[in-house]
Structure 1
């Protein structure tokens, strides 16, 4: 069956759980939405156009926020009932710095397990689950104040910038690790460049930046065109592009209700990566507001 079903990049569909870790389709956005469970620290990601129907769309991922003295963790799981790092369905996490202005996305398994194997480790299944940094997100001081969206930048440690060019490819995981993950190596939220992904030099990594808003004279506010997918103005709303020259939106996130937000993404990032980036927008950022 796995040999017959194509990856999301080709099929444009999310099928097996591993497809949540694989790049989305080229040239079209997969439409999802996030529900913030009111009165809790839990967030659910669903596949679907919006929350208008009486029934939820297809459940994809769950995240739970854990506040620490010096940081905040968002643990991401395939299971709504067990969102913890000790769960066999744990697939990664997002960690913030104290101010909530810098974040690191960690994957429970390496994007390119073959690159981490030595001659004695020939089977990727034997790689212990842990915390492998795959993206770094930073928010800059908002010079526009509350009138404009936050300025953000995402450095995708596991994706080369060449992935956006003709014939370029993004790393694609082929299977999920299911092992006992009761203990994890303790990794600070930010480390030196030498400890980042060894797959690609830092100057060759894909960097996503928020699309610059345009001033709307009639509304007297800064606006972005979400093509009807966002209905409520919020400082949390954003669109990410690979470069100012290429305005094709890789990820967009925006508010449509009190606790409901749309999340649309495409190649070269995955649903897991997109969800983690969007979770960073929920965190309090007093230095950016």
Structure 2
């Protein structure tokens, strides 16, 4: 049987199975919902058909060929289809598919929480829906070039509150509940829109936190309801400098990434790379204590749930916006976006690492743009990010630019 026909048959089997589980694999907007912490119950629902009885050697060779053949979306839906056939296929596919840092591709939902590639940035665009106050992140160059082939990655909904503004981030555009498996995090601003906190539903990549979450989940699995609020973990802070008199030029911002060490941008440095979704669902247990046993690393959010956070051993990565230059002929501030931004806007920015003289970081790494965001249409913006940021972190930082800042511009 030709490989193309074989993959097509696999896709048909996966489609029938996904309809039973109500997972919609639409053209250009396909996704696989993250596996819940209690994967044993969901695994039991997967039908073990004739494809599960293939010899492991043959199965490994098939998935390796599919992985090598499909290098971009929507072709990589065939890789996702292989992982949806049965448990054995899923395990082998996870072993073969590399992280975005290694291959430069986004395949499974956990890829959105993993750092991007080091050499070339992953190019995305954001579509703003004013009527619904939602922001949709797609993988692709732009709507005009990608069209229906672009892949929906994340969706954020803006929720105005009395003293702050929340951007709730989800995997889908019709479910923003914190008790849902589609919830991945949120961005919260202060009253003036000058300071933001990035909250992640994924616990920090720390063995103490992970083991504590897993042990509490096992002991309370029978007591916890199927849908409970998920904890938030403060993983980054974003601040904009005040510019009330408008004498300092464009916006100035600074992002402190608590869980990413400054050494991550070095040639041999590494950034936290989660390999699976893990949510600590126990809301009644004691918070994790710091090394001195005095209390939790951070306090509570407005909902009262703990956000345990262990700081990185070295100094955290701090990002600052690249200073623009004044163009005499155009009479405006300019940045070189290399054709990715075409409309002048106060929201446009480029972020580079803020490095001190004592830190061992080369000049080339200091000048490398880690995240850039800019306007190309009325409600269309481009977002390009690279290592050590993930798609979720880059999207949260970009969302901070949409909030109103009367004292910063």
Higher share in strand: 1
**Correspondence for 1:223 among 323, 326, 334:** 334
Where structure 2 has 5 or more consecutive residues not aligned to the other structure, the ranges are 1-92, 221-228, 285-298, 356-362
Cα 1:200–1:13 shift into 2, 3 Å: same
Contact 1:148 1:235 in 2 (8 A): no
Tell me the matched-pair count.
Answer: 281
Residue equivalent to 1:50: 142
Residue equivalent to 1:207: 318
Contact 1:87 1:182 in 2 (8 A): no
Separation in 2, partners of 1:124, 1:5: 31
Superposition RMSD in Å: 2.7
Residue equivalent to 2:230: 129
> Following superposition of structure 1 onto structure 2, how do residues 231-270 of structure 1 map, counting pairs within 5 Å?
231-243=342-354, 245=363, 246-270=366-390
Contact 1:85 1:181 in 2 (8 A): no
Where structure 1 has 5 or more consecutive residues not aligned to the other structure, the ranges are 190-194
Contact 1:60 1:78 in 2 (8 A): yes
Contact 1:85 1:182 in 2 (8 A): no
Cα 1:182–1:264 shift into 2, 3 Å: farther
Using structure 2 for the length normalisation, give the TM-score. Answer: 0.64
**Correspondence for 2:265 among 157, 160, 164:** 164
Contact 1:149 1:238 in 2 (8 A): no
Separation in 2, partners of 1:188, 1:136: 17
Contact 1:114 1:124 in 2 (8 A): no
* Offset, 1:28: 1.1
Residue equivalent to 2:199: 106
Q: Secondary structure at the residue paired with 2:144?
A: coil
Using structure 1 for the length normalisation, give the TM-score. Answer: 0.89
Cα 1:41–1:141 shift into 2, 3 Å: same
Residue equivalent to 1:69: 162
Greater shift in the superposed pair: 155-164 or 48-57: 48-57
* Offset, 1:243: 3.2
Separation in 1, partners of 2:200, 2:121: 23
1:25-46 residue CA offsets vs partner (Å, 9 max, x unmatched) = 0021100000001322111000
* Offset, 1:83: 1.9
**Correspondence for 2:301 among 187, 208, 232:** 187
Bigger Rg, which one: 2
Contact 1:100 1:283 in 2 (8 A): yes
Residue equivalent to 2:114: 22
Higher share in helix: 2
Higher relative contact order (CA 8 A, sep 6+): 1
1:136-168 residue CA offsets vs partner (Å, 9 max, x unmatched) = 000002388399431000000110111111211
Q: Secondary structure at the residue paired with 2:231?
A: coil
